Chain A
């Protein structure tokens, strides 16, 4: 079955540590996204990528970094510069957006990150 796999499901970070969240899709989608969800809030966009080797900052990119070396993979690194990283992180993918239309997104089941 096609879908998006996020791992790990739970992750703990120590002070001053960088951690990387994995996101893999086998839907052959060009576009991929990372969102952060805090309790009682909607999703906020961290980074997105429309094509391999290219990505753009979203609304809350500070303290995060990404890479897009393969179409299937879009890992997110939460750096030590992100002072409040505790949240639920969701990865999504879609067929490529155009300038005039966004497309339905398929989501993984998330990674819950906590601070030790």
Chain B
């Protein structure tokens, strides 16, 4: 399978804490993307990081990429209850392969 892994598969934190999710992929990439999925809804694109970038920020989101280790991490700072969702990484060239996701619960 070309699917990678995300860990942890589930994460529960208190509101205001930081949440870190990791993604391992198996193939070479030119970029990696992170998406959020609320329960019963479609995915929403959060951020794209190119293979020549090591870190990228967007609001409370920080993404890092280590192509030598084929891994990426998504950090959500000062989490809110509204951040409760599943988070997926996706990578590839002409088509995106998605990881299995991390289910984040932020407790108010």
Could you tell me which A residues sit within 8 Å of B by CB distance? 4, 6, 33, 35, 40-43, 45, 48, 58-59, 90, 92, 97-102, 104-110
Contact = CB atoms under 8 A, between A and B. Distances in A.
A10 to B, nearest CB: 11
Interface of B: 2-3, 30-31, 33, 40-45, 48, 88, 92-101
A110 B43 CA distance: 9
Contacts of A107: 42-44
A97 B43 contact: no
Contact of A108 (B40, B42, B93): B42
A110 B45 contact: no
Q: Of residues A6, A45, A102, A109, which shows the largest number of chain B Cβ atoms within 10 Å of its Cβ?
A: A102
Contacts of A59: 2
A97 B97 CA distance: 14
A103 B53 CA distance: 16
Given A40-B100, A42-B98, A42-B101, A102 B93 contact: yes
Most buried by A among B31, B41, B44, B96: B96
A109 B88 contact: no
Contacts of A58: 95
B44 to A, nearest CB: 7
Contacts of A100: 30, 93
B41 A106 contact: no
A9 to B, nearest CB: 9
A110 B40 contact: yes
30 contacts: A41-B100, A42-B3, A42-B99, A42-B101, A43-B88, A43-B98, A45-B95, A45-B96, A45-B97, A48-B95, A59-B2, A90-B43, A92-B42, A97-B94, A97-B95, A98-B94, A100-B93, A101-B31, A101-B93, A102-B30, A102-B33, A102-B92, A102-B93, A105-B43, A105-B45, A106-B45, A107-B42, A107-B44, A109-B40, A110-B40
